[in-house]
Structure 1
Amino acid sequence: MRNILLIQFRKNKLIANQEKKCLLKILKKKGVNLTSENLFLEKAEILSKYLTRVDGIIIGGSGEFSFSKKNNYLDLFKKIKESAPFIKKAIKKDIPILGICLGHQYLSYIFGSKVTSEEKQKEFGTFNVHLTPVGKKDPIFYSIVDNFLAQQGHEDCVKSLPKNAILLAKSDNCKIEGFKIKNKNVYGVQFHPELEKKDSKARLKMAGIKEGIEFKESPLAKKVIINFLKLKQKKTLHHEESCAMRHRRSDSNAQPLVLETNALPIELRRLP
Protein backbone atom coordinates (compact mmCIF):
# COMPACT_ATOMS: atom_id res chain seq x y z
CA MET A 1 0.00 0.00 0.00
CA ARG A 2 1.08 3.55 -0.72
CA ASN A 3 -1.99 5.63 0.06
CA ILE A 4 -4.31 5.19 3.05
CA LEU A 5 -7.54 7.04 3.84
CA LEU A 6 -8.39 7.57 7.51
CA ILE A 7 -12.10 8.16 8.14
CA GLN A 8 -12.68 9.93 11.45
CA PHE A 9 -15.78 10.54 13.58
CA ARG A 10 -14.42 13.09 16.03
CA LYS A 11 -15.53 16.53 17.23
CA ASN A 12 -12.52 16.89 19.54
CA LYS A 13 -9.89 18.32 17.18
CA LEU A 14 -7.01 17.64 19.56
CA ILE A 15 -7.79 13.93 19.71
CA ALA A 16 -8.49 13.81 15.96
CA ASN A 17 -5.04 15.25 15.28
CA GLN A 18 -3.43 12.88 17.77
CA GLU A 19 -5.09 9.87 16.15
CA LYS A 20 -3.71 10.94 12.78
CA LYS A 21 -0.21 11.57 14.17
CA CYS A 22 -0.08 8.17 15.85
CA LEU A 23 -0.95 6.45 12.59
CA LEU A 24 1.48 8.63 10.61
CA LYS A 25 4.29 7.64 12.95
CA ILE A 26 3.81 4.03 11.84
CA LEU A 27 2.96 4.67 8.18
CA LYS A 28 5.82 7.06 7.40
CA LYS A 29 8.37 4.42 8.35
CA LYS A 30 6.83 2.23 5.64
CA GLY A 31 6.69 5.00 3.03
CA VAL A 32 2.90 5.18 3.13
CA ASN A 33 0.87 8.38 2.72
CA LEU A 34 -2.12 9.14 4.94
CA THR A 35 -5.09 11.36 4.11
CA SER A 36 -7.83 11.93 6.67
CA GLU A 37 -11.45 13.02 6.39
CA ASN A 38 -13.37 13.83 9.57
CA LEU A 39 -17.07 13.31 8.91
CA PHE A 40 -18.00 15.74 11.66
CA LEU A 41 -16.17 18.44 9.72
CA GLU A 42 -16.88 17.29 6.16
CA LYS A 43 -19.89 15.80 4.36
CA ALA A 44 -19.71 12.10 3.53
CA GLU A 45 -19.95 12.89 -0.19
CA ILE A 46 -16.29 13.89 -0.09
CA LEU A 47 -15.34 10.23 0.34
CA SER A 48 -16.37 9.12 -3.16
CA LYS A 49 -13.26 10.56 -4.83
CA TYR A 50 -11.06 8.19 -2.84
CA LEU A 51 -12.37 5.01 -4.47
CA THR A 52 -9.72 5.35 -7.17
CA ARG A 53 -7.05 7.09 -5.07
CA VAL A 54 -6.33 4.85 -2.09
CA ASP A 55 -5.00 1.34 -1.49
CA GLY A 56 -6.57 0.93 1.94
CA ILE A 57 -9.04 2.50 4.37
CA ILE A 58 -8.83 2.83 8.15
CA ILE A 59 -11.98 3.74 10.09
CA GLY A 60 -10.86 5.35 13.33
CA GLY A 61 -12.24 5.45 16.84
CA SER A 62 -14.23 8.02 18.78
CA GLY A 63 -14.71 8.18 22.53
CA GLU A 64 -17.23 10.99 22.10
CA PHE A 65 -19.96 8.83 20.60
CA SER A 66 -21.70 5.68 21.71
CA PHE A 67 -24.15 3.30 20.09
CA SER A 68 -25.91 3.01 23.44
CA LYS A 69 -26.16 6.63 24.66
CA LYS A 70 -29.30 8.35 23.46
CA ASN A 71 -27.86 11.84 23.92
CA ASN A 72 -25.55 11.43 20.94
CA TYR A 73 -26.44 8.24 19.09
CA LEU A 74 -28.57 9.93 16.41
CA ASP A 75 -25.63 12.11 15.37
CA LEU A 76 -23.48 9.01 15.05
CA PHE A 77 -26.07 6.92 13.21
CA LYS A 78 -26.68 9.72 10.73
CA LYS A 79 -22.98 9.73 9.86
CA ILE A 80 -23.02 5.95 9.56
CA LYS A 81 -25.93 6.07 7.14
CA GLU A 82 -24.25 8.77 5.06
CA SER A 83 -20.89 6.98 4.83
CA ALA A 84 -22.00 3.33 4.57
CA PRO A 85 -22.60 3.46 0.78
CA PHE A 86 -18.97 4.49 0.27
CA ILE A 87 -17.75 1.63 2.46
CA LYS A 88 -19.97 -0.79 0.53
CA LYS A 89 -18.44 0.36 -2.78
CA ALA A 90 -14.93 0.10 -1.33
CA ILE A 91 -15.61 -3.48 -0.20
CA LYS A 92 -16.92 -4.41 -3.65
CA LYS A 93 -13.70 -3.02 -5.13
CA ASP A 94 -11.72 -5.19 -2.71
CA ILE A 95 -10.05 -2.20 -1.06
CA PRO A 96 -8.69 -3.47 2.28
CA ILE A 97 -10.45 -1.92 5.29
CA LEU A 98 -9.46 -1.85 8.96
CA GLY A 99 -11.89 -0.63 11.62
CA ILE A 100 -10.37 0.43 14.94
CA CYS A 101 -12.49 0.66 18.13
CA LEU A 102 -15.53 2.63 16.91
CA GLY A 103 -14.51 1.59 13.38
CA HIS A 104 -14.65 -2.05 14.50
CA GLN A 105 -18.16 -1.47 15.84
CA TYR A 106 -19.13 0.48 12.71
CA LEU A 107 -18.20 -2.42 10.43
CA SER A 108 -19.99 -4.99 12.57
CA TYR A 109 -23.07 -2.76 12.66
CA ILE A 110 -23.39 -2.25 8.90
CA PHE A 111 -23.05 -6.01 8.48
CA GLY A 112 -26.07 -6.54 10.72
CA SER A 113 -24.60 -7.14 14.16
CA LYS A 114 -25.69 -5.34 17.33
CA VAL A 115 -23.45 -2.99 19.27
CA THR A 116 -24.28 -2.57 22.92
CA SER A 117 -22.86 -1.42 26.24
CA GLU A 118 -22.10 -4.13 28.79
CA GLU A 119 -20.39 -3.30 32.06
CA LYS A 120 -18.41 -6.55 32.13
CA GLN A 121 -17.02 -5.97 28.62
CA LYS A 122 -15.82 -2.38 29.14
CA GLU A 123 -12.07 -1.88 28.96
CA PHE A 124 -9.99 1.19 29.86
CA GLY A 125 -6.25 0.68 30.09
CA THR A 126 -3.91 -1.99 28.71
CA PHE A 127 -5.29 -5.50 28.36
CA ASN A 128 -4.19 -8.88 27.05
CA VAL A 129 -5.66 -9.85 23.69
CA HIS A 130 -5.86 -13.57 22.88
CA LEU A 131 -5.79 -14.85 19.30
CA THR A 132 -8.17 -17.61 18.28
CA PRO A 133 -6.82 -20.63 16.32
CA VAL A 134 -7.94 -18.89 13.12
CA GLY A 135 -6.50 -15.57 14.26
CA LYS A 136 -3.08 -17.16 14.80
CA LYS A 137 -2.98 -18.02 11.09
CA ASP A 138 -4.45 -14.80 9.71
CA PRO A 139 -2.06 -12.37 7.96
CA ILE A 140 -3.32 -9.40 9.99
CA PHE A 141 -1.72 -10.95 13.10
CA TYR A 142 1.44 -12.21 11.37
CA SER A 143 4.48 -12.39 13.71
CA ILE A 144 2.36 -11.48 16.76
CA VAL A 145 2.36 -13.86 19.72
CA ASP A 146 -0.85 -15.64 20.70
CA ASN A 147 -1.38 -13.31 23.68
CA PHE A 148 -0.27 -9.69 23.48
CA LEU A 149 -0.92 -6.39 25.24
CA ALA A 150 -2.98 -3.67 23.57
CA GLN A 151 -4.36 -0.25 24.52
CA GLN A 152 -8.11 -0.16 25.15
CA GLY A 153 -10.73 2.50 25.73
CA HIS A 154 -14.33 1.47 25.08
CA GLU A 155 -17.72 1.23 26.75
CA ASP A 156 -19.53 -0.31 23.78
CA CYS A 157 -18.84 -3.75 22.37
CA VAL A 158 -19.93 -5.94 19.48
CA LYS A 159 -22.62 -8.22 20.89
CA SER A 160 -22.31 -10.98 18.29
CA LEU A 161 -20.26 -11.64 15.18
CA PRO A 162 -21.57 -10.09 11.97
CA LYS A 163 -22.86 -12.35 9.22
CA ASN A 164 -20.07 -14.02 7.25
CA ALA A 165 -17.50 -13.00 9.87
CA ILE A 166 -14.75 -15.01 11.55
CA LEU A 167 -13.61 -14.42 15.14
CA LEU A 168 -9.88 -13.68 15.24
CA ALA A 169 -9.27 -12.34 18.75
CA LYS A 170 -10.85 -11.91 22.18
CA SER A 171 -9.85 -10.79 25.67
CA ASP A 172 -10.76 -11.87 29.19
CA ASN A 173 -13.34 -9.07 29.31
CA CYS A 174 -14.43 -8.56 25.71
CA LYS A 175 -15.53 -11.58 23.68
CA ILE A 176 -15.00 -9.98 20.23
CA GLU A 177 -11.68 -8.14 20.00
CA GLY A 178 -11.08 -8.86 16.33
CA PHE A 179 -12.91 -10.27 13.33
CA LYS A 180 -12.64 -10.62 9.58
CA ILE A 181 -15.34 -10.77 6.93
CA LYS A 182 -14.98 -14.08 5.07
CA ASN A 183 -13.21 -13.85 1.71
CA LYS A 184 -12.71 -10.10 2.14
CA ASN A 185 -9.83 -7.98 3.41
CA VAL A 186 -12.21 -6.32 5.86
CA TYR A 187 -11.09 -6.37 9.50
CA GLY A 188 -12.26 -4.93 12.79
CA VAL A 189 -10.25 -4.67 16.01
CA GLN A 190 -11.72 -3.36 19.26
CA PHE A 191 -8.30 -2.36 20.64
CA HIS A 192 -6.07 0.51 19.49
CA PRO A 193 -3.03 -0.85 17.61
CA GLU A 194 -1.91 2.69 16.77
CA LEU A 195 -1.50 3.72 20.42
CA GLU A 196 1.45 3.27 22.74
CA LYS A 197 1.42 3.75 26.52
CA LYS A 198 2.35 7.44 26.30
CA ASP A 199 -0.28 8.03 23.61
CA SER A 200 -3.04 6.57 25.77
CA LYS A 201 -2.04 8.72 28.74
CA ALA A 202 -1.97 11.83 26.55
CA ARG A 203 -5.40 11.03 25.12
CA LEU A 204 -6.89 10.80 28.62
CA LYS A 205 -5.73 14.34 29.33
CA MET A 206 -7.13 15.61 26.02
CA ALA A 207 -10.48 14.03 26.86
CA GLY A 208 -10.49 15.61 30.32
CA ILE A 209 -10.37 12.28 32.13
CA LYS A 210 -8.58 12.17 35.46
CA GLU A 211 -5.60 9.91 36.06
CA GLY A 212 -6.18 6.55 37.68
CA ILE A 213 -6.21 4.21 34.69
CA GLU A 214 -3.20 1.91 34.42
CA PHE A 215 -1.39 1.66 31.09
CA LYS A 216 1.47 -0.64 30.11
CA GLU A 217 3.75 -0.80 27.09
CA SER A 218 2.21 -2.62 24.11
CA PRO A 219 4.97 -3.00 21.50
CA LEU A 220 3.38 -5.80 19.46
CA ALA A 221 -0.03 -4.25 18.81
CA LYS A 222 1.24 -1.84 16.13
CA LYS A 223 2.13 -4.84 13.97
CA VAL A 224 -1.57 -5.06 13.13
CA ILE A 225 -1.19 -1.76 11.25
CA ILE A 226 2.03 -2.92 9.59
CA ASN A 227 0.43 -6.20 8.51
CA PHE A 228 -2.62 -4.34 7.21
CA LEU A 229 -0.34 -2.36 4.88
CA LYS A 230 0.75 -5.62 3.25
CA LEU A 231 -2.78 -6.53 2.17
CA LYS A 232 -3.62 -5.92 -1.47
CA GLN A 233 -6.71 -5.58 -3.61
CA LYS A 234 -7.59 -8.96 -5.05
CA LYS A 235 -8.65 -7.48 -8.38
CA THR A 236 -8.05 -4.27 -10.29
CA LEU A 237 -10.94 -2.31 -11.74
CA HIS A 238 -9.75 -3.19 -15.26
CA HIS A 239 -9.74 -6.87 -14.38
CA GLU A 240 -13.24 -6.59 -12.94
CA GLU A 241 -14.58 -4.94 -16.09
CA SER A 242 -12.87 -7.29 -18.54
CA CYS A 243 -13.96 -10.40 -16.65
CA ALA A 244 -17.41 -9.26 -15.51
CA MET A 245 -19.39 -11.81 -17.49
CA ARG A 246 -17.13 -14.69 -16.50
CA HIS A 247 -17.36 -13.74 -12.81
CA ARG A 248 -21.14 -13.54 -12.96
CA ARG A 249 -21.28 -17.06 -14.38
CA SER A 250 -18.77 -18.56 -11.97
CA ASP A 251 -20.22 -16.81 -8.93
CA SER A 252 -23.86 -17.45 -9.76
CA ASN A 253 -24.26 -19.58 -6.65
CA ALA A 254 -22.26 -17.30 -4.35
CA GLN A 255 -23.95 -15.26 -1.65
CA PRO A 256 -24.06 -11.53 -2.44
CA LEU A 257 -22.53 -8.96 -0.11
CA VAL A 258 -25.37 -7.54 1.97
CA LEU A 259 -25.09 -4.57 4.28
CA GLU A 260 -27.89 -4.46 6.81
CA THR A 261 -29.63 -1.10 6.31
CA ASN A 262 -32.54 -2.34 8.40
CA ALA A 263 -30.24 -2.31 11.41
CA LEU A 264 -30.38 1.48 11.39
CA PRO A 265 -32.81 3.19 13.78
CA ILE A 266 -36.23 3.86 12.30
CA GLU A 267 -35.58 7.62 12.55
CA LEU A 268 -32.67 7.35 10.11
CA ARG A 269 -34.43 5.05 7.69
CA ARG A 270 -36.80 7.95 7.09
CA LEU A 271 -34.02 10.44 6.37
CA PRO A 272 -33.78 11.51 2.72
Structure 2
Amino acid sequence: MKNVVILSNGPGLTEIVNKYGHSSDWIPGIINNKDINFTIKKVYEDDFDININADAYILTGSKYSIYDDIDWIYKLKNFTKKLIENQRYVLGICFGHQVLAHCLGAKVKKNKLGWELGSYKINLTEKGLKNKLFEGFSYQEIVYESHQDTVLELPDNIDILADSSKSNQSFSYNEKVFGVQFHPEFSKEVTRMLMDLRIAKGISVDSNDLLDSPKSHSVLKNFLNIAGVN
Protein backbone atom coordinates (compact mmCIF):
# COMPACT_ATOMS: atom_id res chain seq x y z
CA MET A 1 0.00 0.00 0.00
CA LYS A 2 1.39 3.39 -1.05
CA ASN A 3 0.82 6.49 1.08
CA VAL A 4 -0.06 9.93 -0.28
CA VAL A 5 -0.60 12.93 1.98
CA ILE A 6 -2.87 15.75 0.82
CA LEU A 7 -2.17 19.01 2.64
CA SER A 8 -5.50 20.82 2.63
CA ASN A 9 -4.91 24.57 2.71
CA GLY A 10 -8.39 25.94 3.31
CA PRO A 11 -12.01 25.08 4.05
CA GLY A 12 -13.21 25.90 0.53
CA LEU A 13 -16.15 28.07 -0.46
CA THR A 14 -19.25 27.08 1.46
CA GLU A 15 -21.50 27.03 -1.60
CA ILE A 16 -19.18 24.69 -3.50
CA VAL A 17 -18.50 22.43 -0.53
CA ASN A 18 -22.23 22.07 0.12
CA LYS A 19 -22.87 20.96 -3.47
CA TYR A 20 -19.70 19.15 -4.54
CA GLY A 21 -17.76 18.43 -1.36
CA HIS A 22 -14.26 19.61 -0.50
CA SER A 23 -11.58 19.81 -3.18
CA SER A 24 -9.22 17.65 -1.11
CA ASP A 25 -11.73 14.82 -1.42
CA TRP A 26 -11.93 15.07 -5.20
CA ILE A 27 -8.31 14.03 -5.72
CA PRO A 28 -8.63 10.42 -4.43
CA GLY A 29 -11.75 10.05 -6.56
CA ILE A 30 -9.92 11.19 -9.68
CA ILE A 31 -7.00 8.81 -9.03
CA ASN A 32 -9.36 5.93 -8.20
CA ASN A 33 -6.66 3.51 -7.05
CA LYS A 34 -7.52 1.27 -4.09
CA ASP A 35 -3.84 0.48 -3.59
CA ILE A 36 -3.16 4.06 -2.50
CA ASN A 37 -3.86 5.24 1.03
CA PHE A 38 -4.74 8.94 0.94
CA THR A 39 -4.40 10.93 4.16
CA ILE A 40 -5.90 14.43 4.22
CA LYS A 41 -4.31 16.81 6.73
CA LYS A 42 -6.16 20.06 7.41
CA VAL A 43 -3.10 22.24 7.86
CA TYR A 44 -5.33 25.34 7.84
CA GLU A 45 -6.61 23.98 11.17
CA ASP A 46 -3.00 23.66 12.36
CA ASP A 47 -2.80 19.89 11.84
CA PHE A 48 0.90 19.32 11.21
CA ASP A 49 1.14 15.82 12.62
CA ILE A 50 2.34 14.62 9.22
CA ASN A 51 4.41 11.63 8.18
CA ILE A 52 7.61 12.91 6.56
CA ASN A 53 8.20 9.54 4.88
CA ALA A 54 5.06 9.26 2.74
CA ASP A 55 5.47 8.31 -0.91
CA ALA A 56 4.09 11.62 -2.22
CA TYR A 57 2.54 14.89 -1.08
CA ILE A 58 -0.02 17.18 -2.70
CA LEU A 59 -0.48 20.80 -1.57
CA THR A 60 -3.92 22.13 -2.45
CA GLY A 61 -5.15 25.55 -3.41
CA SER A 62 -6.46 28.11 -0.92
CA LYS A 63 -8.37 31.36 -0.56
CA TYR A 64 -5.34 32.70 1.32
CA SER A 65 -2.14 34.32 0.05
CA ILE A 66 1.19 32.80 0.97
CA TYR A 67 2.17 36.18 2.46
CA ASP A 68 -0.81 36.38 4.79
CA ASP A 69 0.37 36.84 8.38
CA ILE A 70 -1.18 33.61 9.65
CA ASP A 71 0.63 31.13 11.89
CA TRP A 72 -0.28 27.96 9.97
CA ILE A 73 1.03 29.46 6.71
CA TYR A 74 4.45 30.02 8.30
CA LYS A 75 4.37 26.42 9.55
CA LEU A 76 3.37 25.20 6.09
CA LYS A 77 6.33 26.98 4.50
CA ASN A 78 8.71 25.43 7.01
CA PHE A 79 7.23 21.97 6.52
CA THR A 80 7.39 22.37 2.73
CA LYS A 81 11.06 23.32 2.93
CA LYS A 82 11.59 20.15 4.95
CA LEU A 83 9.90 18.08 2.23
CA ILE A 84 12.15 19.63 -0.42
CA GLU A 85 15.29 19.13 1.68
CA ASN A 86 14.35 15.48 2.21
CA GLN A 87 13.82 15.03 -1.54
CA ARG A 88 10.20 13.98 -1.24
CA TYR A 89 7.85 13.93 -4.23
CA VAL A 90 5.64 17.01 -3.98
CA LEU A 91 2.95 18.52 -6.21
CA GLY A 92 1.66 22.01 -5.47
CA ILE A 93 -1.65 23.23 -6.89
CA CYS A 94 -2.37 26.99 -7.21
CA PHE A 95 -1.60 28.25 -3.67
CA GLY A 96 0.49 25.10 -3.22
CA HIS A 97 2.37 25.93 -6.43
CA GLN A 98 3.12 29.37 -5.00
CA VAL A 99 4.26 27.95 -1.65
CA LEU A 100 6.71 25.64 -3.43
CA ALA A 101 8.01 28.46 -5.63
CA HIS A 102 8.50 30.71 -2.59
CA CYS A 103 10.39 27.97 -0.75
CA LEU A 104 12.64 27.54 -3.80
CA GLY A 105 13.50 31.25 -3.92
CA ALA A 106 10.94 32.71 -6.34
CA LYS A 107 8.76 35.74 -5.70
CA VAL A 108 4.98 35.57 -5.42
CA LYS A 109 2.91 38.72 -5.93
CA LYS A 110 -0.52 39.84 -7.01
CA ASN A 111 -0.67 39.66 -10.79
CA LYS A 112 -0.68 43.11 -12.39
CA LEU A 113 -2.65 41.59 -15.26
CA GLY A 114 -5.48 40.63 -12.91
CA TRP A 115 -7.25 37.39 -12.11
CA GLU A 116 -7.17 34.23 -14.16
CA LEU A 117 -10.67 32.88 -13.56
CA GLY A 118 -12.24 30.27 -15.83
CA SER A 119 -10.75 28.25 -18.68
CA TYR A 120 -7.38 29.27 -20.11
CA LYS A 121 -4.98 28.05 -22.74
CA ILE A 122 -1.56 27.10 -21.43
CA ASN A 123 1.54 26.64 -23.56
CA LEU A 124 4.02 23.92 -22.72
CA THR A 125 7.69 24.81 -23.01
CA GLU A 126 10.17 22.48 -24.70
CA LYS A 127 11.00 21.07 -21.28
CA GLY A 128 7.31 20.79 -20.45
CA LEU A 129 6.62 18.71 -23.54
CA LYS A 130 9.35 16.28 -22.47
CA ASN A 131 8.35 16.16 -18.81
CA LYS A 132 6.31 13.18 -17.63
CA LEU A 133 4.03 15.49 -15.63
CA PHE A 134 2.47 16.46 -18.96
CA GLU A 135 2.56 13.07 -20.63
CA GLY A 136 -0.25 12.91 -23.18
CA PHE A 137 -0.49 16.70 -23.49
CA SER A 138 -0.15 18.71 -26.68
CA TYR A 139 1.76 21.99 -26.93
CA GLN A 140 -1.42 23.88 -26.02
CA GLU A 141 -4.12 22.65 -23.64
CA ILE A 142 -7.12 24.10 -21.82
CA VAL A 143 -7.05 24.17 -18.01
CA TYR A 144 -9.17 25.67 -15.23
CA GLU A 145 -7.89 28.61 -13.21
CA SER A 146 -8.88 30.63 -10.16
CA HIS A 147 -6.11 32.84 -8.81
CA GLN A 148 -4.89 36.39 -8.40
CA ASP A 149 -1.37 35.83 -7.09
CA THR A 150 1.34 34.70 -9.47
CA VAL A 151 4.88 33.30 -9.40
CA LEU A 152 7.66 35.60 -10.58
CA GLU A 153 11.44 35.41 -11.00
CA LEU A 154 12.00 31.68 -10.70
CA PRO A 155 15.64 30.76 -9.98
CA ASP A 156 17.77 29.30 -12.76
CA ASN A 157 17.79 25.82 -11.21
CA ILE A 158 14.03 25.49 -11.74
CA ASP A 159 12.65 24.19 -15.05
CA ILE A 160 9.70 26.15 -16.43
CA LEU A 161 7.23 23.66 -17.90
CA ALA A 162 4.27 25.83 -18.95
CA ASP A 163 2.92 29.35 -19.04
CA SER A 164 -0.13 31.31 -20.14
CA SER A 165 -0.54 34.81 -21.52
CA LYS A 166 -0.77 36.09 -17.93
CA SER A 167 1.39 33.93 -15.67
CA ASN A 168 3.74 31.04 -15.06
CA GLN A 169 1.70 27.83 -15.09
CA SER A 170 4.07 25.05 -14.11
CA PHE A 171 7.62 24.33 -13.00
CA SER A 172 9.71 21.43 -11.74
CA TYR A 173 12.70 21.14 -9.47
CA ASN A 174 15.02 18.15 -9.22
CA GLU A 175 12.38 15.98 -10.98
CA LYS A 176 10.65 15.54 -7.62
CA VAL A 177 9.01 18.88 -6.90
CA PHE A 178 6.28 20.09 -9.27
CA GLY A 179 4.01 23.11 -9.27
CA VAL A 180 0.93 23.84 -11.36
CA GLN A 181 -0.84 27.18 -11.13
CA PHE A 182 -4.03 25.75 -12.59
CA HIS A 183 -6.45 23.34 -10.90
CA PRO A 184 -6.21 19.77 -12.28
CA GLU A 185 -8.75 18.66 -9.66
CA PHE A 186 -11.49 21.02 -10.92
CA SER A 187 -14.42 19.87 -13.03
CA LYS A 188 -16.20 22.08 -15.52
CA GLU A 189 -19.24 22.27 -13.22
CA VAL A 190 -17.17 23.37 -10.22
CA THR A 191 -15.34 25.97 -12.29
CA ARG A 192 -18.62 27.38 -13.61
CA MET A 193 -20.02 27.72 -10.10
CA LEU A 194 -16.81 29.29 -8.83
CA MET A 195 -16.82 31.79 -11.69
CA ASP A 196 -20.43 32.77 -11.02
CA LEU A 197 -19.78 33.24 -7.30
CA ARG A 198 -16.74 35.43 -7.88
CA ILE A 199 -18.27 37.42 -10.71
CA ALA A 200 -21.17 38.19 -8.36
CA LYS A 201 -18.60 39.68 -5.96
CA GLY A 202 -17.23 41.98 -8.64
CA ILE A 203 -14.28 40.00 -9.94
CA SER A 204 -13.86 40.46 -13.68
CA VAL A 205 -13.11 37.61 -16.07
CA ASP A 206 -11.31 37.57 -19.41
CA SER A 207 -14.10 35.44 -20.88
CA ASN A 208 -17.38 34.15 -19.49
CA ASP A 209 -17.23 31.21 -21.92
CA LEU A 210 -16.07 28.01 -20.27
CA LEU A 211 -14.26 25.48 -22.45
CA ASP A 212 -13.76 21.77 -21.81
CA SER A 213 -10.51 20.67 -20.18
CA PRO A 214 -10.22 17.01 -21.18
CA LYS A 215 -6.62 16.37 -20.08
CA SER A 216 -6.22 18.43 -16.92
CA HIS A 217 -7.06 15.60 -14.49
CA SER A 218 -4.22 13.50 -15.90
CA VAL A 219 -1.65 15.79 -14.25
CA LEU A 220 -2.58 14.23 -10.91
CA LYS A 221 -2.16 10.70 -12.24
CA ASN A 222 1.05 11.60 -14.05
CA PHE A 223 2.54 13.04 -10.87
CA LEU A 224 1.79 9.89 -8.91
CA ASN A 225 3.26 7.81 -11.75
CA ILE A 226 6.47 9.86 -11.47
CA ALA A 227 6.48 9.21 -7.72
CA GLY A 228 6.06 5.48 -8.34
CA VAL A 229 2.72 5.46 -6.57
CA ASN A 230 0.00 5.05 -9.20
Q: What TM-score range do you get, normalising by the shorter chain?
A: 0.7 to 0.9
Taking a change above 3 Å as real, the CA distance of residues 79 and 163 of structure 1, as seen in their structure-2 partners, is farther
Question: What's 1:51 paired with?
Answer: 52
Matched residues, number: 219
* Greater C-alpha Rg: 1
In the superposition, the TM-score normalised over structure 1's length comes to: 0.72
Deviations 1:199-234 (A, max 9, x none): 2124456x665398432210111111110011237x
C-alpha distance in structure 2 between counterparts of 1:30 and 1:172, whole Å: 38
The amino acid across from 1:58 in the alignment is I
Alpha carbon RMSD of aligned pairs, Å? 2.4
Where 1:51 maps in the other structure, the secondary structure is: coil
Query: Does 1:22 find its partner at 2:22?
Result: no
Q: Specify which structure has the higher proportion of strand.
A: 2
Question: What's 1:266 paired with?
Answer: none
Query: Does 1:148 find its partner at 2:148?
Result: no
Query: Does 1:133 find its partner at 2:126?
Result: yes
Partner residue of 2:224 out of 210, 222, 229: 229
Shift of 1:35: 1.4
Question: What's 2:172 paired with?
Answer: 180
C-alpha distance in structure 1 between counterparts of 2:142 and 2:13, whole Å: 27
Unmatched 5+ residue regions in structure 1?
A: 234-272
The percentage of counterpart residues that share the same residue type is: 28
Question: What's 1:197 paired with?
Answer: 188
Shift of 1:163: 5.1
* Deviates most, 1-10 or 94-103: 1-10
Deviations 1:97-116 (A, max 9, x none): 00000000011111221111
Taking a change above 3 Å as real, the CA distance of residues 228 and 169 of structure 1, as seen in their structure-2 partners, is same
Query: What are the within-5 Å matches in structure 2 for residues 1-272 of structure 1?
Result: 2-12=2-12, 14=14, 17-29=21-33, 31-44=35-48, 46-47=49-50, 50-52=51-53, 54-62=54-62, 64-67=63-66, 73-75=68-70, 78-120=71-113, 122-162=115-155, 164-174=157-167, 176-181=168-173, 183-204=174-195, 210=200, 213-232=208-227
Taking a change above 3 Å as real, the CA distance of residues 215 and 102 of structure 1, as seen in their structure-2 partners, is same
Shift of 1:95: 2.0
Runs of 4+ off more than 4 Å: 13-17
C-alpha distance in structure 2 between counterparts of 1:124 and 1:203, whole Å: 9
Shift of 1:56: 0.6
Unmatched 5+ residue regions in structure 2?
A: none
* Deviates most, 136-145 or 155-164: 155-164
The amino acid across from 2:80 in the alignment is I
Shift of 1:160: 1.6
Q: Specify which structure has the higher proportion of helix.
A: 1
The amino acid across from 2:183 in the alignment is H
* Deviates most, 215-224 or 185-194: 215-224
